[in-house]
Amino acid sequence: MGAGRVLSRHIPLIGRLDDGNGFGRASAVVGAMVVVLFWLSLGFDSGVGRPFEIPAGPQAADGGRIGGSIIAALVLLGGGGLFLMLMQAVLWQRRTAQRLRLRESELAEQRDRLRRYVADLERIADVAAHDLQEPLRRMVSYSQLLASHDKTGCDDDVRDYVGHVVDGARRMRALVSGLQEFVAVDSLPRTGEVSSAWVAMAVARQRLDDVLAEAGATLVVDPLPEVEADPASLVEIFVQLLDNAVRYRSSERRPVIHVSVVRDGDMAKILVCDNGVGIDPARVVRMFEIFYRPHGGDGRLAPGIGTGLAVVRRLVERLGGAVWVESEDGIGSSFGFSLRLGSAPSPREDENRAA
């Protein structure tokens, strides 16, 4: 069998292995050359099996030469195979690098598009907040003036209608303010500072002092550690969670709110537990969605707009933590969030250790 016939067998393979960069064609040519060298080194002719016969007696020298030829051919074949493997590895690496560059380009484009979308949403929310606040304020003011202008000339139906207008305008103002707070979370910088959760809770308690007193709520706070968070965000988280606990209090018992902490490695899991109305288990998974109200929007039960817990989730996630809720309908709820512990203990913890 001649070398031309061998090459003719491998020429179609060359076209199939070519990838447009020349590596496939070169690999096929080298493979064909190795095969030709192998056949030539063994001295193949029309008697295919003759070179493999091991001679005896006076022909031992010829047998040694044939054995050397076989070894040389095997070495060439192994080297050619190794070369082919290296070429294919290089080809695979180049293809992988090209795919990675393409993927990085697509991700960069998607990140830029997402940044533009977020910036547009922030501008829309800011403009909507400022442009809507003024007409809503006017609606409330003039509706109140209309209701108090001539009380004797207004029957109960008129006063009821005016009351609905005032209430709707107030809720719209609260909705716009909540939306603005939700969007503004991303604009807060991450400073990486360490703040005292105990101090933040004290500030939040002071802000909600009138709300807690009006509801007759009892607030129990365990010693809280220092965590990696800026004070403003930490205070806002506690304000929203305490306000939520007061809003969803039970009419059958005095509200009691317990704030505690559990250490989990380098994380602090802070819990805000209440004995309020609780939440239906089927609704728990949606508690941190914006504008979601688990009790069907019953304003008499909890006159909120559904942005407080969504703001908490965004604040905690921006600080590198997570949020969760556990609840039993009619018994109470436990809202938790995790933050990384700070390096130093809080002043309250020092006082407890000294005691």
CATH number for 348: 3.30.565.10
Of the candidates 185, 219, 240, which is a domain's last residue? 185
Into how many domains does the chain fold? 3
What's residue 267's pLDDT? Answer: 94
Residues 181 and 202 in one domain: no
Return the closest-CA partner of residue 261 out of 227, 295, 236, 231: 227
CB atoms within 10 A of CB 202: 16
Q: Within this chain, do residues 132 and 256 fall inside the same structural domain, yes or no?
A: no
Picking from 185, 202, 226, the residue at the C-terminal end of a domain is 185
Residues 146 and 266 in one domain: no
Q: How confident is the model at residue 347, as a pLDDT? A: 45
Tens digits of residue pLDDT in 110-155: 888 888 877 777 777 677 666 677 777 777 777 777 767 656 566 6
Give the residue numbers spanning the domain of 105: 3-110
Is residue 98 domain-shared with residue 201, that is, in the same domain?
no
Q: Are residues 157 and 170 both part of a single domain?
A: yes
Supply the pTM of this predicted model: 0.59
Residues 124 and 101 in one domain: no
The predicted structure's pLDDT at residue 153: 61
Q: Is 172 in the same domain as 75?
A: no
Residues 213 and 87 in one domain: no
Largest Cα–Cα distance of the chain, in whole Å? Answer: 140
In total, the chain counts a number of residues equal to 355
Q: Give tens-digit pLDDT for 37-94.
A: 555 555 444 444 444 444 545 454 555 555 566 666 666 666 767 777 787 788 888 8
Looking at the fold, whether 235 and 209 belong to one and the same domain comes out as: yes
Same-domain pairing of 105 and 157? no
* Count of beta carbons in the 10 Å neighbourhood of residue 173: 18
Cα dist. 225→248, 259, 346 in Å?
27, 12, 5
My answer on whether 228 and 276 are in the same domain is: yes
Domain end (from 163, 185, 207): 185
Q: Which residues of the chain register pLDDT less than 50?
A: 1-21, 43-54, 56, 58, 60, 299, 344-355
User: Which phi and psi (to 5°) does residue 227 adopt?
Assistant: -135, 165
Report pLDDT for 39.
58
Q: How far apart are the first and last CA of the chain?
A: 99
Q: Are residues 7 and 74 in the same domain?
A: yes
H or E segment to which residue 281 belongs: none
